[in-house]
Amino acid sequence: MITQPLTILLVEDNPVDAELLVRELRKAGFEPLWQRVETEPDYIQQLDRADFDLVLSDFQLPHFNGLRALQLFKERKLDMPFILISGTIGEEIAVEAIKQGATDYLLKDRLVRLGQVVTHALAECRLRRERRKSDDALLLFRTLMDQSGDTLEVIDPETARFLDVNGKGPAELGCTRAEYLSLRVIDLDPKMTEAAWTRFVATLRETGSLSGETSHRRKDGTTFPVEYRAKWVRHDRDYIVTVVRDISVRQKSEQALRVSEERFRQLAENILEVFWITSLDQNQVLYVSPAYEKIWGRTCESLHASLETWLDAIHPKDRARVQRAVAARLITGAYEEEYRILRPNGSERWIRDRAFPVRGPDGSLQRLVGVAEDITESKNLQEQFLRAQRMEAIGTLAGGIAHDLNNILAPILLAPPMLREFARDDREKELLDLVEKSAQRGANVVGQLLTFSRGTGGQHVSVQLCHLIAEMTGIMRETFPREIVIEQCITGSLAPILGDPTQLHQVLLNLCINARDAMEDGGKLSLTAKNAELSEAEVQAHAPAKAGAYVAVTVADTGHGMSAEILGRIFEPFFTTKSLSKGTGLGLSTVFGIVRSHHGFVTVASIPGKGTTFTVHLPVAPNTVETAAIPTAELPIGHGELILVVDDEVPIRTVTRLLLKRHGYRVLTACEGAEALVVFAEHRDEVRIVLTDVMMPGMGGVALIRSLRIVAPNLKVIAMSGLDNSENHVALVAAGAACILAKPCSLRELLETVHEHLSGELLSVD
């Protein structure tokens, strides 16, 4: 006897009753694999596994009942029979269980019927599943039909009537679906007769499929050409399934394609890019657009005559790479390369060349088509952008170096004025003068670094560049070698700009000296200026410069020029092509920083052997004009006011304390912010001013200022920073700094700043 495997979940608290159920199932021809549970948690755990064929549940259990088990079963929407078994269930409860979804119920005194009940329940479950699959398949078929872009028809071969059609067919005929299904193929196809239909059906039955072209008649009587593919389908009976496509659409598409090809030809012959087609072996150019002559500077006929003329035009440094890429595209058909070409006049252009495969119906590669465009301007913009990014990174590094150097130079610069009083003779004074001048020279170099990195220093006033240019021209004519011819040209009346005259003078001086050094054997130096209105496109590579009115100042020489490699590095600090005795490499980096601080930009063009041209663009000034303050003549003296000096550098802290004490102040010191707060708390009523460094370990200057403003809102705090930048200033001002003093500063700057803020405090108290 063949047994049927059966996996059962038994909800039964009596093991004996469970064994009786299993025994009866074995008698009925089943081989049960069963799991018994008694409590609701165990039942839920097993039920969630959902790998049973059947659930048999007792009605009354110690902790829950069969109706609860049925409820949990239905919540999980399980597709298996649930049979309720009990020795005490009444008919009302049994009916209620069936209403709630139980498959069947059985009394324990009638277990002899268990096999029959289970067999029936399993059969019903199987039929339900098969019906659902059939419904799903039918729904899928209907969905596919309705979503098809062609007309799909199901035809009765005996009557030639349409049994089904998707929405495309009625739409094309201009009728409803019901009207479509009332027709026969003979009504729809003007060429189809009864005899022709009989022959069509016989042939289709024999071959299984047919295809061809005919026409269909619309509801309004007009006809249109179609192509069809018919398939003989045998299921419960014979059907014909056809796919019909309106080829008038294809004909329109073909016509549109011809028009498109004509338009493409016109486009290809008028666009700026080069459109080309080559044979599969790439030995012959089938077509090249006229733009080739404009970009390559060679005739299309020369390219048709020999493909080698294209390869010969490629820059020698790029030629081998491009040859390898061309060889590889024979395999893949795809190709994209950027390379340089040399025009017959010697000029260089950058090209982006892309190829695409054209394949036949069988997928084989037939020919290659491509587009080549001149990207020289884009490359130049990209190079300028990368150069600007590199300058930004180098500027950040230079700013960091400047900060450390300023901390080193600050005590050296402050000490000589104090030590000079103790000098015993002229020799010692001379040595102190030397130290002070050397420190000041170092501070000037650091200032140039800061000017490059952040564009710091100087007050901006309204400046007429024509005066600076005239002054520079006069200096050059008096000091430059006579072999250098100097020309000056100012076009029109230059608009005023807003800037620092000293810094702008330095810009012109550095550029003119570089031009002089590039013409050792003489030449011509031209200094020109004009007003210029720049568009967004013209300034896009020089962010953050904005479109608008500018004054353009050009310094051009006829010297030895620069290579592309050198041109990419000229604005880097300490980079120079001059000997160590002739340059530090800070001239052009300073120019870069100053012009950027004036919201302008610098461009440079150079041809080796022919000269270099620098153009400085400076934005035209707004209507408002700022004037510079005039410093006081004498050093101010204190009157015993208590000053708290905070700095992590011991030399700076020591020198500042000694200088302030010598000039009439009392001084307390701290090495960082936390210590300064303790010292201030002990002398809160006496401290008049806090003089603090910004960058310190532990609590820095910004945090210290914020803390002091909380405990003493009216206390004046002067910040001292060796790294002067806008972000630093904003943070210090926001924290509550009264002013910001740049390191290294002179004794005058220190004493005047302290005196100014003490005087302001007295004035506000009065």
CATH of 457-619, one of 3.40.1210.10, 3.40.50.300, 3.10.150.10, 3.30.565.10: 3.30.565.10
Kindly report, residue by residue over 504-531, the tens digit of the pLDDT: 887 888 889 888 988 988 899 999 999 9
**Beta strand 30-37 pairing with 4-11:** parallel
Measured CA to CA, the distance from residue 118 to residue 98 in angstroms comes to 15
Q: Which of 15-19, 28-32, 393-397 has the lowest mean pLDDT?
A: 393-397
Domain covering 642-765 in this structure, CATH number: 3.40.50.2300
Kindly report, residue by residue over 422-435, the tens digit of the pLDDT: 777 877 777 777 77
Kindly report, residue by residue over 283-308, the tens digit of the pLDDT: 688 888 888 988 999 998 888 888 88
Contact 6, 31 (CB under 8 A): yes
Measured CA to CA, the distance from residue 504 to residue 473 in angstroms comes to 14
Kindly report, residue by residue over 731-762, the tens digit of the pLDDT: 888 888 888 888 778 788 888 899 988 886 54
User: Which 8-state DSSP code applies to residue 275?
Assistant: E
| Mean predicted lDDT score pLDDT of the chain | 82
Burial (CB count within 10 angstroms: exposed 0-12, middle 13-18, buried 19+), residue 713: exposed
Measured CA to CA, the distance from residue 135 to residue 124 in angstroms comes to 16
Question: What are the tokens at 410?
Answer: 């600050």
Distances in whole angstroms, Cα of residue 431 to Cα of each of 276, 291, 440: 77, 73, 14
CA atoms within 13 A on the CB side of 656: 30
Architecture per CATH, domain 269-374, reads as 2-Layer Sandwich (3.30)
**Class at the top of the CATH hierarchy for domain 4-131:** alpha beta
Q: What is the per-residue pLDDT for 687?
A: 93
DSSP string, 544-578: T--SEEEEEEEEEE-S----HHHHTTTTSTT--SS
Look at 760 and 211; give whichever has higher pLDDT.
Answer: 211
Q: What is the per-residue pLDDT for 266?
A: 80
User: Cα torsion at 506, 511, 514, 518 (round to 10°)?
Assistant: -160
Chain-centroid distance, C-alpha 108 = 73
Q: What is the per-residue pLDDT for 580?
A: 46
User: Which 8-state DSSP code applies to residue 312?
Assistant: H
Question: Domains of the chain: which residue ranges?
Answer: 4-131, 148-251, 269-374, 457-619, 642-765
* Residue 213 pLDDT exceeds 60: yes
Q: Residue 143: which pLDDT band, with cuts at 50, 70 and 90?
A: low
Kindly report, residue by residue over 626-669, the tens digit of the pLDDT: 434 444 457 888 999 999 999 988 888 888 888 899 889 999 99
Q: What is the per-residue pLDDT for 593?
A: 79
pLDDT above 90: percentage of residues in the chain: 24
Kindly report, residue by residue over 373-395, the tens digit of the pLDDT: 999 888 877 766 666 665 566 65
At what angle are helices 465-479 and 501-517 packed, to 10 degrees?
40
Q: How many CB atoms lie within 10 A of CB 87?
A: 13
Architecture per CATH, domain 148-251, reads as 2-Layer Sandwich (3.30)
Side by side, the strands of the sheet bearing 30-37 are: 30-37, 4-11, 54-58, 82-86, 104-107
Q: What is the per-residue pLDDT for 384?
A: 66
Kindly report, residue by residue over 53-65, the tens digit of the pLDDT: 899 988 888 888 8
Q: List Cβ neighbours of 709 (8 Å cut-off, separation of 6 or more).
A: 715, 717, 735, 736
Geometric angle at alpha carbon 453, from 449 and 456, rounded to 5°: 80
Question: What are the tokens at 417?
Answer: 């004025």
Distances in whole angstroms, Cα of residue 409 to Cα of each of 24, 441, 719, 724: 104, 10, 17, 15
- Average pLDDT for 322-345: 83
Decide whether 269-374 matches 642-765 in CATH topology.
no
Which residues in 99-199 belong to E strands, given as ranges?
Answer: 104-107, 151-155, 162-165
Q: Would the pTM of this model clear 0.85, i.e. be above it?
A: no
Residue that is written with structure tokens 């884009």 in the block: 378
Contact 150, 168 (CB under 8 A): yes
Q: Residue 447: which pLDDT band, with cuts at 50, 70 and 90?
A: low
